[in-house]
Amino acid sequence: MTGLREQTVRGASSYEDACARHAWRVPAAYNIAQDACDRYADGTGRRALVWEPEDGAAETYSFDDLRRLSDRMAGGLSTLGIEPGARVALMLAQTPEHAIAHLATFKLGAVSVPLSRLFGPDALRYRLGDSGARVLLTDGEHWAKVAGIWDDLPELRHVVLCDRRPARPDDARVLGLAEVLARGAAGVAPCRTRAEDPALLIYTSGTSGPPKGALHAHRYLLGYNGVDYANNFFRPGDLYWSPADWAWVGGLLVGLFCPLAHGVPVVASAARFDPAGAFELMARRGVTNTLLSATALRKIAVTIDEPKRFGLRLRCVFSGGEKVTPEIGTWVAERLGLRINEVYGQTEANILVGENDPLIPPRPEPLGRPYPGHEVAVVGEDGAVLAPGELGVIAVRRGDPVIMLGYWNRAEATRAAYRGEWLLTGDLGVADAEGWIHYKGRADDVINSAGYRIGPAEVEGCLLEHPAVEQCAAVGVPDDTLGQAVKAFVQLKPGHRASDALADELRRHVRTRLGSFQRPREIEWVEELPLTVSGKIRRAELRRRAGAES
């Protein structure tokens, strides 16, 4: 079949050669489950998934196992009224049942709706109601949140508890996974989906207004060719693991379906992220490839003095979601002997830009270059491509297979996301003369001070270079003279104390490195920064706090 692994140009002599040789190969008929599972289920028992439960012995699943179990689950879900186009919500940890449920949903031509276990009742009520999910798969630990809001969800017919030994409530609408699998013992004929048919509905964690559901087609996976490049090309013997939650595209697509679609087995673990525990897991299993966020890397660098003692087999570390600081990049290079490949994208269109060794050797400042096949540019408000060095919005040209079908039931929002042929990411950036993309912050986070447009990421990156700063966020606050002034919320590293002298030192640091107009006029010390469930700083909340205080 033609799948994800056929979208990479291998053996190219240069980045330019890879781009010139690239051509998207999107078949008319395509299904994610066939690409990420069934094509490798050839009866040989090829390893697909290694699950490490928090207590108990590890379990290994072959592609044959995943195919058999997903066929049965598809049969069981069909008895619950799941048909092509129906929405199936999943709120589970990194478990075999989670992976199998997605595959089963895809095989029915239905639409998976990943949900974070961190969501509270209000967040769940909105997403389950807006999506019109017909079935929810979760576990006993999180069942209570659903029970309290079920009366507000008329389209939700059943909840399936996926614990190995679930405590069943006295409610006929609630089933155990074993019962669903028994109902589907005979399996079901997979739905023959088109590449353009919907497969995933993933809600963004937007900074203002209710979350929007980004609806993706099966072809979405085909557009993730950048994951192969970011892994310096998958190879035989690779084993992948990441702590990234499968409720988000970084975990579900980058961390599960992409490796599987390349025939690379994945380690799954529901354990809470802990630096030493993560290194022990990777050493114990022989993990070779991992995606770690900048936040996770910072925790690792602070906690682990000598990582070589673990005897890791890592050959590739890549990161996305937020910029890795030069300090962390240096730590990884010196302590692990690896260069971090950074990747860039968003829920609506992911893994557009990044690095690869040797085609796009990592550099400390930019995000990377557009991966072959992805036409990415920095555009102005009118959609015109800007000259190198000009600040604008990072955009991707319409027609890329990784671009969403649109926002769920939000036709106007979908139209507003485009300027002509370009889908706007909402992120500010600058393209240099070589085509490298430099991230400058969210467009709605831009600070306008005395006529200067200041990207918060640049101020934050400068502050993070100071040895006292653990984490920070820069926002614009009203100023009678400047229009807006820069205010920084700063979380200090252990061993450093807040003081007026340190605040002055940080201002001088930014003024010296970036310029006087970018230095924070105000600095507020915080114990921690407010984050979205996907780990992004909630700058809108900080702006509201700053506005109330002013």
CA 57, CA 254: separation in Å to the nearest integer? 26
Please tell me which of 37-41, 52-56, 426-430, 473-477 the model is most confident about, judged by mean pLDDT.
Answer: 37-41
CA 397, CA 400: separation in Å to the nearest integer? 7
Which of 144, 164, 192 is where one domain is finished? 192
Q: What is the pLDDT of residue 207?
A: 41
**502 in a domain, yes or no?**
yes
**Tens digits of residue pLDDT in 119-157:** 888 889 999 999 999 999 999 999 999 999 999 999 999
**Tens digits of residue pLDDT in 398-421:** 999 999 999 999 999 999 999 999
Q: What is the pLDDT of residue 333?
A: 96
**Tens digits of residue pLDDT in 515-542:** 787 899 999 999 999 987 667 788 888 9
122-131, 215-224, 435-444, 453-462, range with the lowest pLDDT: 453-462
* Residue indicated by tokens 């920095």: 378
CA 353, CA 386: separation in Å to the nearest integer? 18
- pTM comes to 0.86
Residues 6+ apart with CB under 8 A from 499: none
% of the chain exceeding 70 in pLDDT: 98
Please give the full DSSP string across 267-334, using - where no structure is assigned.
EEE-SPP-HHHHHHHHHHHT--EEE--HHHHHHHHHH-S-GGGG-----EEEE-SSPPPHHHHHHHHH
Residue 209 has pLDDT above 60, yes or no: no
CATH number at 70 reads 3.40.50.980
Residue 335 has pLDDT above 70, yes or no: yes
**506 in a domain, yes or no?**
yes
Task: Quote the domain boundaries for residue 529.
Answer: 446-549
64-68, 229-233, 451-455, range with the lowest pLDDT: 451-455
Which of 159, 192, 225 is where one domain is finished? 192
Residue 221 has pLDDT above 80, yes or no: yes
User: Are 500 and 507 in contact, with CB atoms under 8 Å apart?
Assistant: no
**420 in a domain, yes or no?**
no
Q: What is the pLDDT of residue 534?
A: 66
CA 263, CA 46: separation in Å to the nearest integer? 9
Confidence band of 326 (pLDDT split at 50, 70, 90): confident
Tally of structural domains, the chain: 2
Which of 192, 215, 241 is where one domain is finished? 192
**210 in a domain, yes or no?**
no
**293 in a domain, yes or no?**
no
Name the strand (E) or helix (H) holding 393.
strand 392-397
**Adjacent-strand bridge partners of 87:** 111
User: For the purposes of burial, counting CB atoms within 10 Å of the CB of 196, is it exposed (0-12), middle (13-18) or buried (19 or more)?
Assistant: middle
Tokens of 72: 């049965």
User: Helix (H, G, I), strand (E, B), or coil: what is residue 139?
Assistant: coil
User: Are 432 and 388 in contact, with CB atoms under 8 Å apart?
Assistant: yes
- Taking the CA of residue 62 as centre, how many other CA atoms within 13 Å lie in the half-sphere pointing to its CB? 10
The number of helices, as runs of H, and strands, as runs of E, in the chain is 17, 27
**515 in a domain, yes or no?**
yes
**422 in a domain, yes or no?**
no
Residues 6+ apart with CB under 8 A from 222: 3, 4, 7, 24, 25, 26, 30, 195, 401, 402
Q: Which amino acid is at 525?
A: W
DSSP E strands in 85-165: the ranges are: 87-90, 111-114, 135-138, 158-161
Q: What is the pLDDT of residue 449?
A: 83
% of the chain exceeding 90 in pLDDT: 79
- Taking the CA of residue 312 as centre, how many other CA atoms within 13 Å lie in the half-sphere pointing to its CB? 25
Confidence band of 208 (pLDDT split at 50, 70, 90): very low
CATH number at 509 reads 3.30.300.30
Rounded average pLDDT over 370-391: 96
Higher pLDDT residue, 210 or 362?
362
CA 395, CA 380: separation in Å to the nearest integer? 10
CA 500, CA 481: separation in Å to the nearest integer? 24
Q: What is the pLDDT of residue 369?
A: 98
**540 in a domain, yes or no?**
yes
Rounded average pLDDT over 269-276: 92
